[in-house]
Each structure stands twice: as C-alpha cells, then as structure tokens.
Amino acid sequence: MHFKAIGMMSVAALLLGGGSALGAPGLPVTKPPVLPVTSWTGPVNDPHAVAGQWFIDKDLWVPGEVQNGTQFRPYEFHDNVIGSGGGDLPDPPAFDSFRSIYGKVTSITTHPTNSNITGFTIRARITDDRLALTPWYRGENSHGEWETASPTSPTDPNDPVNNHVDDPFEKQNLDPMRNVKLTVEFAVSDPTQLPEMTSPYRQGENPAYIVAANHDELAWYCWTPGNTEDKSPIGNFHVPTFDFGDITPGGFVERDLLFTVSDAGILSTETRYSVLTTSLAAEWGEGDIFSNRTTDLKIGDWLDNVRFDAGVAYPLDPIKGGNVSVFYVPEPTTLGLLALGGLTLLRRRCR
C-alpha cells in the first residue's frame, strides 16, 4: 500500500490556508507554535523544522548523504484519553479515544529451534476522532522542542492547553486528515545503518532490533548536518514510516505492518516478548501497543520501547508519552495562499 504525497510548496500553502477548525488532538507542529525557532532539528533544506515533520521515500534514501525528494507534514494527530484531551469516537468502531491510534499484534514468527520471536505483524488502525472534548497537556521531545499553544505557564509541561476544545459547528465542518503517515519509533529500517546511539538517540532494548519490512518512507530524527551551534550527533532519515492515505472525520483506515527481528530475535525473558505475545492473545479492540499523547511532540525519542497503551492519561514522563506518531496535511478552509512560494511565506510568518 502506497499513497501519493503532496509536494512541498503545496503543503506549505495548505497550512497557511487552514483555519482554526482543526483542533486537538490534531495540532500544528510548525514553528510557531512549536519553539524554539532556532533549533537545528530538521534536514538541511529546513534546518529548524519550521515546516513540521520531514520524510523521504525509503527508496531514495542514501546513508550519509543529503537527499532531494523530501516532503513534510505540518500537523500531528494524538490519541488522548477522554477527559484529558481525547475526542469522541463514533460507534462503530467502539474503541476508546486512546485507541484512536491502535496497534494489535496479529501474528508472530518464532525461531525453529527455540521460542525467540523473529518476526511479527501488527494490524494498525487510525481513527479520526477530532476535536478534543476537554483541554490537553502540551508536548515536548528529546530535542528540547515544545508546543507553545497558550499555556498559562509555558515552562510547565503539565499546564493544560485550552485551544480548540470540541465545538459542534467546528466538528460538523471538519475536513479530513490527508496523506496520513504513521511513524513507528520502536523500529529501525536497516540495523546495519544505525547512528552512534548517544543522546538524543536511544539504544533501545538490545540485543535485537525490531526491523520494519513493508514501510514506505523514513522520518527525520536528530540534529541538522552542518549546523553552526556544533550540535551533535548528526541526524538523518531514520524512523520507519507507513502511509495511510486520507482519513475522514469519524472514519478509520487499517493496515498490516510487517516486522522482522535482527540477530537472535526477541528472547522470552524480555519485556518486549511478553508485550507482543499478550497482544497477540488479546481480542480485537484490546492489546493496544501504540500510543501518542499530546505530551509527546513529533517523534519524541528514537529508539522507543514496545509497551501497552493502558489508557493512562499521560503515561510516564512527557517525552515518553508515545512510541508512534501520526502526521497529516489539513485541508484548507481557504485557498487564497495556495501558490508557489508558500514555504517562503510560512518562514516569514514564523519569524
């Protein structure tokens, strides 16, 4: 499954043309409202990630080189709990709001001579349950970026943000999430092409890496090559990303995500083993191993852990509020700025 991406200039114009009808848990990840503007957290064509989260087709990626053909997404979708920024899902599907980003293991492959997990499949479902019913907490990530929005105390990650709480008129006129992408932050694309795992990279749960097998793109993570503030280690397009196309309000899209495991596989003594096998045994609608609360801004950290989403409002610390992320393009309410030079206009607006 592969969906055509919207070009860079068109997306910038879409962002500028979009109105405030797109509220939480669908939030802009452009600068502003994300700060700091000088961050060196994007690729060389957008070193401060002004336009949002960047991607490249996996077939175009060359290790150690700066590539053309990149694209970005200016909004991120979250799966907050009802009462803590969650939305109102329709019935069907009768999933709670924290399962609007849902992943359940549907098959496991083990080594022929032992019980080590050597591969598995996750059925992923993304359901559009915007807008939020109640306020939510703002986000941070391992790069020191944070979502400003309008908290009373912007240095407090637990200060609720009150923008765009559910309004019947807004929901009635809500546009689809378009060209949706899911990043899986507990997986790698190629275990032979990994950076040195020093902060903000995380080693993850060794000894074996979970390797994406049928992903479409790679998402940017870590610092800009050639940055003038000597930030290191240098980033690249590392994080496996899957296309989900367009998702209409109240609707959902499902897709099977395939993974292998490097080296000897996942041992039965590991936490990951228990999580994967328990998810496999669960009924459909349970066993969710995907989460992405608003406290986890963009790709919060990589590599991340495989853990259950137990429906806790804001699990762990603010940076560990998600192990996947969902990004999309909002449909504009006006098309007046849909023109060449949209990204330049966006940068002027964000200074």
Alpha-carbon gap, residue 141 to 94, rounded angstroms: 31
Bridge partner residues of 266 (DSSP) = 117
Domain extents for the chain? 8-101+126-185+216-248+291-350
Alpha-carbon gap, residue 102 to 63, rounded angstroms: 31
Q: What is the mean pLDDT of residues 308-324?
A: 83
14-18, 39-43, 125-129: least confident range: 14-18
Residue 338: the pLDDT is 26
Residue 138: the pLDDT is 83
CB burial of 223-249 (b: ≥16 within 10 Å; e: otherwise) equals bbeebeeebeeebbbbbbbbbbbbbeb
> Tens digits of per-residue pLDDT, 232-290?
999 999 999 999 999 998 889 999 999 999 999 999 999 999 999 999 999 999 999 99
Residue 83: the pLDDT is 84
pTM: 0.85
Per the prediction, the chain carries an average pLDDT of 81
> Tens digits of per-residue pLDDT, 113-122?
999 999 999 9
Residue with the larger pLDDT of the pair 308 and 84:
308
Alpha-carbon gap, residue 81 to 94, rounded angstroms: 14
CB atoms within 10 A of CB 44: 12
